[in-house]
Amino acid sequence: MTSSASSVVSARNLCLTYDTNDGPVHALSNVDLDVRKGDFVSFIGPSGCGKTTFLRVIADLERKTSGDITVNGMTPDEARKARAYGYVFQAAALYPWRTIEKNIALPLEIMGYDKTERAKRIAQTLELVNLAGFEKKFPWQLSGGMQQRASIARALAFDADLLLMDEPFGALDEIVRDHLNEQLLKLWKRTNKTICFVTHSIPEAVYLSTKIVVMSPRPGRVTDIIESTLPTERPLGIRETPEFLEIAHRVREGLRAGHSYEE
């Protein structure tokens, strides 16, 4: 079996250069990566190393400059049209004038699902993120963590196999984040999704992932890819085990190696 046949995302020599008034910005430089079905892949690296850009290329929100990328074996353009992914943004990005159920319904309306089907999917996804009973609330009536769960429900509602998440818990305090990390792992196991997850946090990346992609800036490139050896069953206490700390150490080394001390 070739790697790209089983790959949900496959990148080869992927480059993306932004043309700016200050000259070219090499956001992605020769990125090689395979995300397999059912993987939980975290992207970690300092601000500006191209994490968001990579997700946006997968989602067809940015075009590559050169190299190859496929999503479910298709071009990003075809994958977008086939609704191959759900996208969770850095901020919850919910419409404040719509209730939680109406926020989740919006992409479903655009995709032409009828009212019965919409109601069914809204109920299912709110259940998945433990927000059943909150459908009539407005976003501002929910805590930050609950809002972020609602935006995950929205991304799950049309049941794409691939979930792209850009620092979804970055703005939340550590206790809420721990709780959401646990919930996200359970959700991932229950739904068999493939997840690409951007984070700044080493413990979060190690706790969640089957694979950790360490990136460095200027130009944005991959400095290490770590296959996790942790068991799939992960109580929060696993973060104190030697195996966990060993992987965290390797991530930290990768980040250090990619860091330029000239700045």
Which residues here bind ligand ADP, judged by CB under 6 A? 18, 20, 25, 27, 45, 47-53, 220
Whether the Cβ atoms of residue 218 and residue 26 lie closer than 8 Å to each other = yes
Q: Which CB atom, from 52 or from 148, has the smaller least distance to Mg ion?
A: 52
First to last CA, the chain: 44
**105 or 205, CB closer to ligand ADP?**
205
Q: Which does 73 bind (CB under 5 to 8 A by kind): ligand ADP, Mg ion, none?
A: none
What angle do helix axes 144-156 and 115-128 make, rounded to 10 degrees?
Answer: 130
Counting every residue written for the chain, the total comes to: 263
Which one of ligand ADP, Mg ion, none interacts with residue 219, CB within 5 to 8 A by kind? none
Dump strand ranges (E) for 91-172. Answer: 162-166
Please say which residue, 148 or 216, places its beta carbon nearer to ligand ADP.
216
Q: Tokens 């390797």, residue? A: 250
For residue 45, the minimal CB distance to ligand ADP (Å) is: 6
Smallest separation, CB 55 to Mg ion (Å): 8
Closer residue to ligand ADP (CB): 18 or 95: 18
Closest distance between ligand ADP and the C-beta of residue 15, in Å? 12
Nearest-approach distance from CB 97 to ligand ADP, in angstroms: 28
Report the nearest approach of ligand ADP to the CB of residue 21 (Å).
9
Instruction: Identify the helix (H) or strand (E) that includes residue 194.
Output: strand 194-199
Nearest to 89 by CA among 101, 107, 102: 107
Residue 49 binds what, of Mg ion, ligand ADP, none (CB under 5 to 8 Å, by partner type)?
Answer: ligand ADP
CB of 49 to ligand ADP, least distance (A): 4
Where does this chain bind Mg ion (CB under 5 A)?
A: 52
Residue with Cβ nearer ligand ADP (47 or 116): 47
Contacts of 147 (CB under 8 A, 6+ apart): 92, 94, 139
Structure tokens at 22: 């200050």
Gap between the Cα atoms of 177 and 11, Å rounded: 30
Q: In terms of CB distance, is 156 or 198 closer to ligand ADP?
A: 198
* Nearest-angstrom CA–CA distance, 220 and 67: 14
